[in-house]
Amino acid sequence: MSDKTSSLRIGKAAFILAFFILIGLMIFSGILTRTVPAGSFERELIDGREYVIPGSYRVTPEQVPPAVWRWFTAPVEVLFAPGAIVAITIIVFLIFVGGSFTILERSGVLEAVLNRLVAGFYERRYLLMAIIIFFFMAVASVLGIYEAMVPLIVFIVPLALKLGWDSLTGLGMSLLPLAFGFSAAISNPFTIGVAQRIAELPLFSGAWLRIPFFVITYVVVVFFVIRHARRVDRNPERSPVHALDQQRRRTLSDEAAALPAAKGDDRLTPELRRATIWFGANIALAFAFIFVTARNPVLSDLAFPLMSLLFFVGGLGAGRLAGRSWRQVWRFFGGGAIGMAPAVLLILMSLSVRHIVELGGITDTILNSASNLIAGSTTFGAAFFVYLVTLAMNFFIGSASAKAFLMMPILSPLADLVGITRQTAVLAFGFGDGFSNMLFPSNALLLIGLGFTVVSYPRWLRWTVVLQLIMFLVSMVFLWTAVRVGFGPF
């Protein structure tokens, strides 16, 4: 086996582009703290959760905006700020996934599994694509599983390459439907569930309108990804990432050439079979935990770290069972972990955007100004502004449940005031939250997903912009329908 580095690393050009985009966003956030007056709502603690008290906003002139130099030290500060556990968990996740993936790649386990999948599904690869997209969308829409599914991207993208497509197709089969399924929520406990509970609506009521929206979203995503994949099928050079993917393909081919063949079993030697079973068992255990605890807010918070841990244990064991020495296994792991260093920096920078805004105390000011705008709107205008406000807040606050606890106590009575149902406000909140996860570079999970591939953020944005516009129009049609029919029960 050659001593190459892992193919799982962000490209130099992609890193530089993302770095300067995030620097710009950090500066923009810092400027906002000096131009937008600081203010805050009063909050009350109910069942261990903080709720905003509507009408309690006041300006806080005593709040001092962060010094300019702190705009640039924010990536370090997030490791020590309240909520630092999120940043640390993401970093550990990247290290474990990067290192474990490299073990699987370098020990031949990844190639063996991909070969079996390709051999079994190549003639039905578009059916396989549609099934994978549905799986990612469904688990996000029904169970709200998002972060814990991200590790699967490292398998879906190489699978797409082996099936003759490109990295964009792989992301379109995994990352894209994951985010779109989260937004086209049927019973997502972190968007629909939390928002409905705060709005005092029956839990998961209104599914009769959300299910058709999910179906239409699925059809749009499948059509979009298949259309791109067929174009790449006909002429691989038409792929925007063709040159970059060639290096990834060469890496996979070189690893395949180094594998020992097993007679009649398509390179799956007894060692590789044991390694595959071990790793598969660990991943199956992780998903069993995720699905069982998806409706429990406390236990579901453990899903992301548990997935990372089992990925780590599964990777180490698979490397050893595949016939590698512990020295080799740890060397592979170290190389993969180091390869994730640029992605770690980008994640810390993306988390800095929210940190800077919180230091300036302007989050509540933005929300208060937006609520005043909604209060003076027509019915559809109010629903549209709820969508826009959620979209804007998603730039600074990535967590859906955190936004719900911040916004819904204000939006619910506002909905009553302007003549739209609370259910419509919840629907607009869900639309504004999910789709923009694939737009904003301040979203850590978007950068994680792209960091696993050769796709840069600007290239991703160019590829998905038409799809985003289509889904915006579809969302507005459903939002208009909700306003017209008095989407309820209230």
266 has pLDDT over 70: no
Q: Please give the average per-residue pLDDT across 331-339, as a whole number.
A: 90
Q: What are phi and psi of 120, to 5 degrees?
A: -85, -25
pLDDT single digits (tens) 361-379: 998 898 888 888 888 788 8
Q: What is the pLDDT of residue 46?
A: 76
Q: What is the pLDDT of residue 377?
A: 82
Q: Please give the average per-residue pLDDT across 28-50, as a whole number.
A: 87
414 has pLDDT over 90: no
- Residues in contact with 364: Cβ distance below 8 Å, sequence separation at least 6, in sequence order: 39, 40, 41, 52, 57
Let me know: does 147 contact 298? Beta carbons within 8 Å: no
34 has pLDDT over 90: yes
Tokens 């980008």 belong to which residue? 346
What is the Cα–Cα distance from 335 to 171, expressed in whole angstroms?
24
261 has pLDDT over 60: no
What is the Cα–Cα distance from 51 to 198, expressed in whole angstroms?
9
Q: Which residues of 107-133 are buried (b: 16+ CB within 10 A; e: fewer)?
A: bbbbbbbbbebbeebeeebbebbbebb
- Residues in contact with 373: Cβ distance below 8 Å, sequence separation at least 6, in sequence order: 385, 389
Q: What is the pLDDT of residue 154?
A: 86
Residue 54: CB atoms within 10 Å: 15
Let me know: does 423 contact 488? Beta carbons within 8 Å: yes
Q: What is the pLDDT of residue 263?
A: 38
Q: Please give the average per-residue pLDDT across 164-187, as a whole number.
A: 94
Q: What is the pLDDT of residue 260?
A: 47
Q: Please give the average per-residue pLDDT across 242-262, as a whole number.
A: 64
Q: Residue length, the chain?
A: 490
Mean pLDDT over all residues of the chain? 86
Residue 53: CB atoms within 10 Å: 12
Q: What is the pLDDT of residue 76?
A: 94
Strand 58-59 relative to strand 43-46, pairing: unpaired
What is the Cα–Cα distance from 52 to 300, expressed in whole angstroms?
24
Q: What is the pLDDT of residue 287?
A: 79
Q: Please give the average per-residue pLDDT across 63-88, as a whole number.
A: 90
Tokens 């497509």 belong to which residue? 165
What is the Cα–Cα distance from 29 to 354, expressed in whole angstroms?
8
pLDDT single digits (tens) 112-144: 888 888 888 888 999 999 999 999 999 899 888
The secondary structure of residue 438, as a DSSP letter, is: G
Q: What is the pLDDT of residue 405?
A: 85
pLDDT single digits (tens) 470-483: 999 999 999 999 99
51 has pLDDT over 80: no
Q: Please give the average per-residue pLDDT across 348-362, as a whole number.
A: 91
Specify the pTM. 0.85
Instruction: Residue 116: name the closest of 153, 159, 150 by CA.
Output: 159
Sequential DSSP letters for 367-427: HHHHHHHHHTS-HHHHHHHHHHHHHHHHHH---HHHHHHHHHHHHHHHHHHHT--HHHHHH
267 has pLDDT over 90: no
- Tell me the three state secondary structure of residue 44: strand
- Residues in contact with 54: Cβ distance below 8 Å, sequence separation at least 6, in sequence order: 41, 409, 410, 413, 414
347 has pLDDT over 70: yes
Find which of 7-16, 127-136, 278-287, 334-343 is predicted with most confidence, using mean pLDDT.
127-136
Distances (CA, A) of 301 to 79, 137, 188: 19, 20, 15
Q: How confident is the model at residue 423 (pLDDT cuts 50, 70, 90)?
A: very high
Q: What is the pLDDT of residue 339?
A: 85
Tokens standing for residue 40: 């805050």
What is the Cα–Cα distance from 385 to 390, expressed in whole angstroms?
8
Round the CA-based radius of gyration of the chain to a whole number and report it.
23
Q: Please give the average per-residue pLDDT across 331-360, as a whole number.
A: 90
Let me know: does 388 contact 382? Beta carbons within 8 Å: no
426 has pLDDT over 50: yes
Q: What is the pLDDT of residue 254?
A: 54
Beta bridge partners of 52: 43
Sequential DSSP letters for 210-253: HHHHHHHHHHHHHHHHHHHHHHHHH-GGGSTTHHHHHHHHHHHH
Q: What is the pLDDT of residue 255?
A: 54
Q: How confident is the model at residue 253 (pLDDT cuts 50, 70, 90)?
A: low
pLDDT single digits (tens) 429-479: 999 987 888 988 888 888 888 888 889 899 999 999 999 999 999 999 999
Distances (CA, A) of 160 to 229, 248, 297: 9, 12, 34
Helices and strands: H and E segment counts in the chain: 22, 4
